[in-house]
Structure 1
Amino acid sequence: MTSNPEPRPDWEGFLRALLDTLDAHMPAEERAVLLRAIGAQIAALSPIPPEATLAGLEARINERLAGPRWGSVSIALDSDGPALVLTHAAPPSLPHRRDEDRAWIAPVLEGLHSGWIGAQPGAEAEVQTHLVSSSEGRMVLRYGA
């Protein structure tokens, strides 16, 4: 018995065309700024209510990520300083030679997680999320100074 591959999302063609167009017309850093803003806007359109615990925040974020099949996140306190470490498993990817390092999704996730965490009680507006590392099927981000 052979299994059928999972169907590709309907948005893949649109997203590939969008990213190719951005690549053709914008320097990499400008593109990253735009993609971070898109991530922040996604967070604003799908806000997470105030959560009293990291476990509660993690659960709400994972609920939001499950709908579009954007993977899952685990959140831990950073032992090296006042920050959170977010391990994002199975982030979206495009099977494309120019997306080997997932350069398009990293800034989107930075903006998305900054938006969601930054809207929580006690969060400081100037604190941002930054990619720490990326490997096949996993991205580690840090939210903190």
Structure 2
Amino acid sequence: MQDINNASYELDYYRHQQFKPGWHSLVEVVFAGIMASADDADGRDFLRLMGSHLAQKTPLPEAQTIGELEDGINATLSHFDWGWVRVEASEKEILLTHYAYPQTPEPDNAPLWTLSFATVLEGIYETWLLAQGGAPHVSLRRKHSSQDRTLVFSYRNGQ
């Protein structure tokens, strides 16, 4: 019997479950249109703003702990079929690692899709954290993507 990496198999299963051909294609066309009709900074600012508006439409319950925050985020993400997040806090920052986010219907467009989707998530996460008592001068930005298709965000005071 072939050895299967269960974590990878599970992520692939969830990505397949999330795929909605008409919606994914529409969102991909919108992402491409936004990024093509504006310079990179303006396009990303717009996508971040759209994420912020979505977060305002779907507020989280008040959280007293990091665990409650993670649970609230994951409950909302489950309604969208957008994967899940792990939240880790240290003295310097809060890290949000987003797993199993929806993938592009066109693999050749993966870099644009990942950048655009991650930027929308930046707006969502930043707005949710601000509503949980975060400071307006603290920003949330994507740190990196990893080989296993996770997105890692840092909420850190740059001052």
Residue number in structure 2 paired with 1:55: 67
Runs of at least 5 residues in structure 2 that lack an aligned partner in the other structure: 1-15
What SS does the aligned partner of 1:74 have? strand
**Taking structure 1 as reference, are residues 77 and 127 closer, same or farther at Cα in structure 2, changes over 3 Å only?**
same
Kept in 2: contact 1:118–1:125 (CA 8 A): yes
Q: Does 1:100 align with 2:117?
A: no
Q: Does 1:90 align with 2:97?
A: no
Residue number in structure 1 paired with 2:3: none
In the superposition, the TM-score normalised over structure 1's length comes to 0.87
Deviations 1:62-100 (A, max 9, x none): 000011111101111135x1x201111112221331223
Q: 1:128 aligns with which of 117, 122, 139?
A: 139
What SS does the aligned partner of 1:49 have? coil
**RMSD (CA atoms):** 1.7
More helix by percentage: 2
Distance in 2 separating the partners of 1:113 and 1:85: 11
Distance in 2 separating the partners of 1:7 and 1:133: 22
1:16-55 superposed matches below 5 A: 16-55=28-67
Kept in 2: contact 1:84–1:142 (CA 8 A): yes
> What percentage of aligned pairs have identical amino acids?
26
1:66-85 superposed matches below 5 A: 66-78=78-90, 81=92, 83-85=93-95
Kept in 1: contact 2:138–2:155 (CA 8 A): yes
**Taking structure 1 as reference, are residues 73 and 7 closer, same or farther at Cα in structure 2, changes over 3 Å only?**
closer
Distance in 1 separating the partners of 2:87 and 2:154: 10
Runs of at least 5 residues in structure 1 that lack an aligned partner in the other structure: none
Distance in 1 separating the partners of 2:18 and 2:63: 35
Distance in 2 separating the partners of 1:75 and 1:8: 25
